Amino acid sequence: MSGRIQKIVILGGGTAGWMSALFLTQAFNRGGQRLLEVVLVESAELGTIGVGESTIPTLRRTMAGLGLDEREMMLACSASFKLGIRFTNWSAPPAPETYWHMFVDKPPVTAGLPAWHAWLKEQRDGSREPFAEGCVDAVDICYRNKAPKQPGDASFVGPVAYAYHLDAGLLGNYLKQKAIAAGVRHVVDNVVDVTHHEGDHIRALITATSGAVEGDLFIDCSGFRGWLINRAQHEPFESFADCLFCDRALATTVPLAADAPIKPFTSSTAMGAGWIWDIPLYDRRGVGYVYASAFCSDTQAETELLSYLHVAEPSRPIRKLRMRVGRTRSPWVGNCVAIGLSGGFVEPLEATGIFTIEIGLQQLWENFPLSDINPILRDRYNCTMRMYYQDIRDFLVLHYCLTRRNDTEFWRTNHSHPAVPDSLKDKLERWRHFLPQPGEIPEPKLFSEFSYISILAGMDALPAGVAPLPAVEYASRSEMERSIEALDERRRMLRNSMPEHRAYLNSLREQPAPHLGP
């Protein structure tokens, strides 16, 4: 390839494909100019997986950047709010049965120091208040099924950090309508071959009926198949199966009564060979069992899932999914960039699937070549994406390797984990003595020190010798009490002012119907 990039070809639809299409056409065709043509090619025969119904707060920024309206998006995707994750049965006594990993816009502070240091001092002095309840203001409204914002608040803005539960299939359709309205060309056809220039640059996708679709840059959004990056570009996939054992999922839906409360959080309940997600949307619950096939058969997994649902037979079909857990070694090879599942997937425990699409596109924009593919930009992109996947992998392994459960072979194996990554070992070794300060984990990262401490404290896995920063001992008691009182006042304010979650979502539907145009 030589000369300015003028045409981007995306293989695959769904959330990854259509978010990529909308993002790229808006990024390069602002103010009515048409600097780039964006074409999306997808097969009519292949559907999207659509199990990633839980998100993290980064999606708010991405949707706002795409110029979308929050209410319109939420109605189109049957969405509800998510303030965090409640984990149940992930360990054994003396760890608590339940703990929280809450969203925060910035690390909470007590007496001018990270709140977890003051919390740990109180624990060492005899307090038994759980970590999240002691440091985060929004746990209370989770218990009370409240929304994180008022009906009059602007799109993507509220007094509490939040994300969404949504139907991923509907999200893909919503983004599709927006992208086509913005000028993306849609080709529905089967790709039967890929041709190359000399070297590793793709020339065209050869379709069954539409002929060759040529391009200057190709985006692989073909999912776990990795049709371009792994097959056509022969880039190897690096599995994380040695440290993350879950490789299967069963997914179904459960109707939600029109007057039933809607929880503003994801529930993650540990089972015999994995865990179950329970995600409340506006009109139904998305429920699925993520499990390790080496420790549990499909039949056993379905029995556990039905037991969780308290039914003998499913009321809706159960989909069986195989997960490819790991990452493509280099998601950018030649003029091909893998976005979404083709680039990597690290199981849905912390809802990072859509985030990897977001960050992949953001990094592509920041490293986009003017003309010929610049190897320095390409290598910087690959290095950054590897570090993000490593960060996600380490954080997920943390949930498993800290467990005290020994009631099944799956949990015994995790308890004596044979392959904790060295990068996670290093973190845990540093934190044997003092908990971290904000900024200690190097960038780029998704999960902050607060998130790591949420899991360590929630699972009662803080080392016996760990201590708060010595500076906590110098903080005045009155200053700490003022900080605690301010947190309590903030909780009272949210408790009294935030609307009930279902009532808020109902109010969205009482306004004039949104349009789906640009």
Radius of gyration of the chain (CA): 23
Query: DSSP string spanning 46-96?
Result: --------B--THHHHHHHHTT--HHHHHHHTT-EEE-EEEEESSS-TTS-
Query: DSSP string spanning 218-278?
Result: EEE--GGG-IIIIIIS-PPEEE-TTT----EEEEEEEE--TTS---SSEEEEE-SSEEEEE
Contact 378, 259 (CB under 8 A): no
Q: Taking phi first (over 0 means left), then psi (-120 to 50 degrees means alpha), and beta for anything else, what does residue 302 get? A: alpha
Contact 99, 461 (CB under 8 A): no
Distance in angstroms (rounded) separating the CA atoms of residues 241 and 346: 10
Residue among 82, 176, 178, 427 flagged as catalytic? 82
Distance in angstroms (rounded) separating the CA atoms of residues 499 and 427: 40
Please identify which residue in the block is written with the tokens 């990897």: 356
Per-residue tokens: 457: 């404290």
Distance in angstroms (rounded) separating the CA atoms of residues 88 and 341: 28
Distance in angstroms (rounded) separating the CA atoms of residues 95 and 117: 20
Contact 71, 81 (CB under 8 A): no
Our answer to whether residue 82 is catalytic in this structure is yes
Name the residues annotated as catalytic.
Answer: 82
